[in-house]
Structure 1
Amino acid sequence: MSEAPEKKIVRPYGDTTGDGMVQLSFTLPLPHGKRAEGAALQLARKMGLDPAMVVHAKAMGPDFTFFIVYGRVNHLVDVSQVQVVEREYPLLSPKEINQLIRERLGRKLVVVGACIGTDAHTVGIDAILNIKGFAGEKGLEYYREMRVVNLGAQVPVPELVARAQQERADAVLVSQVVTQRDAHLHNTREMAAAFREAYPQRPLLVVGGPRFDETMAGELGVDRIFTKGTTPREVASYLVYALFGDATLERSA
């Protein structure tokens, strides 16, 4: 039986260790002035900052003001209760990934990528797929044993499903940057439902974007969620791990 993680209580650090000082920013729909600053302080106090001070205020046009406030909070953080998704697979080199695909699949691994719905922001999907890559790593187009089909932006879900079937995709990668009114969540659920309906055994479904919660993969109906800062090698290593399982662990041993 595994032991419960030991509690570790921490407080925010501002000027000295454990002083509880935090800084936050927000905008109020009020013209810049003393009344607006008073409203900002009232909000900060209601959020638990005590004492609170306005350290920066700037007019954003005639009717809005941007604030930065600084103050102390009494809240504590129990690190043992923090839930995150740890990487359970090894990071492999492009050479190891290509070799695994050759040995285990006997053909090129097919990856279809897109931004779905009305999302026109292709920076994320291009960083993972395009050969130029991201953070000093080449994108999946660089991998000799992968065939990458990048559909670009604003791809309707039915079109993505049809193209994945046409290309016989092993994995589908979707980027979602537009998040107003939880559009990224609605689009992901719609996509997952469409693939379940269209496939007896669907391809891997991987989504990514800065506002996703990595712990929601099961709830959204996908296999994996990646958030900001993810590199192409992380995605490539995950794909071979998800497809070939223990073979990747043996290769990294």
Structure 2
Amino acid sequence: MTPTSTPAVTDFPDVAEIPKVVRPYGDQTGDGMVQVSFTLPLPHDKRAEGAALQLAGKMGIEPALLVHAKPIGDGFTFFVVYGSVKHLVEPGLVEVVEREFPLLSGKEINTAIKRHLRRKLVVVGACIGTDAHTVGIDAILNIKGFAGEKGLEYHREIKVVNLGAQVLVPDLVERARAEKADAVLVSQVVTQRDAHIHNTTAMSAAFREAFPAGKVPLLVVGGPRFEEGSAATLGVDRIFGRGTTPGEVASYLVHALVPQGAATSHSKGA
């Protein structure tokens, strides 16, 4: 289940077209204006407002203007600060995880699976731990889909088993084994105290303990707070961030699970 190697596909502009350095834009080009929000464990009073401005100054916002302050509970205040920063950023040095596979049409996805796997591709999905936010996993798996694209259930050559929310890792492993899953898709939205990180690493460890080497299903994780370049660190095969569409996930599954060269090289929007 090792992903095949294909040329990188990117929707990003050429680096040569990007300015070497940029500053934030507020009222006019290059003014460096930014707006930040944060909470301090202080009751709302003049001292708390001064502390907020002090923090803004230490963040490099100078001069800083306090535009909003509101108590949000006993001993806590929420602030919004507006001001100018002097920092420059270099877009050319930003490391981006580029899509290394083409986006396939629904017909191409079904044809590749039927012709070369000669069976349905089995996907088991869930939200694990205490995470009850199923909007993301449902958008990818359910037939109604997301952003105008049908979900994985729409593809006749993909069998989808959606376990829903708050699934225990041992139960996910057992169901994946019972279904002979080719891929396991996990969605994580709750991020307090890095719950998404701990849940993902625990899930990865459980699968690698339960399955023989080389027989572990493809492990795919998605959520708005994951760093897309951290898949290896978390022990999974792929991470998808916010805005991912069902077509991207389906195309990746074909890329990773169908023998190299089996899927058509034609792409849309690549």
Normalised by the length of structure 1, the TM-score is 0.93
Separation in 1 of the partners of 2:138 and 2:25? Answer: 37
Deviation at 1:249, TM superposition (A): 5.3
Separation in 2 of the partners of 1:162 and 1:64? Answer: 44
1:202 equivalent in alignment to 2:216 = yes
Structure 2: 5+ residue stretches without partners: 1-14
Indicate conservation of the 8 Å contact 1:58/1:67, yes or no: yes
- What are the equivalent positions in structure 2 for 1:82-121 lying under 5 Å apart? 82-121=94-133
- What are the equivalent positions in structure 2 for 1:1-253 lying under 5 Å apart? 8-61=20-73, 63-200=75-212, 201-244=215-258, 245-248=260-263, 250-252=265-267
**Secondary structure at 1:10's aligned position in 2?**
coil
Separation in 2 of the partners of 1:172 and 1:114? Answer: 8
Post-superposition CA distance 1:195-224 (Å, at most 9, x none): 112222211100001110000001111110
Greater share of helix residues, 1 or 2?
Answer: 1
Q: Percent identity?
A: 74
Deviation at 1:39, TM superposition (A): 1.4
Taking CA–CA contacts closer than 8 Å with sequence separation of 6 or more, which of the two structures ends up with the larger relative contact order? 2
Post-superposition CA distance 1:80-113 (Å, at most 9, x none): 2211211111111111111111111111110000
Indicate conservation of the 8 Å contact 1:32/1:62, yes or no: no
**Secondary structure at 1:246's aligned position in 2?**
coil
Deviation at 1:63, TM superposition (A): 3.2
2:12 equivalent in structure 1: none
Please say which of residues 224-233 and 77-86 is displaced more in the overlay: 77-86
**Secondary structure at 1:250's aligned position in 2?**
coil
Deviation at 1:62, TM superposition (A): 5.2
For the aligned residues, what is the CA RMSD? Answer: 1.7
Deviation at 1:159, TM superposition (A): 1.1
Indicate conservation of the 8 Å contact 1:90/1:248, yes or no: no
For these two proteins, the number of residue pairs brought into alignment is 249
Separation in 2 of the partners of 1:118 and 1:67? Answer: 30
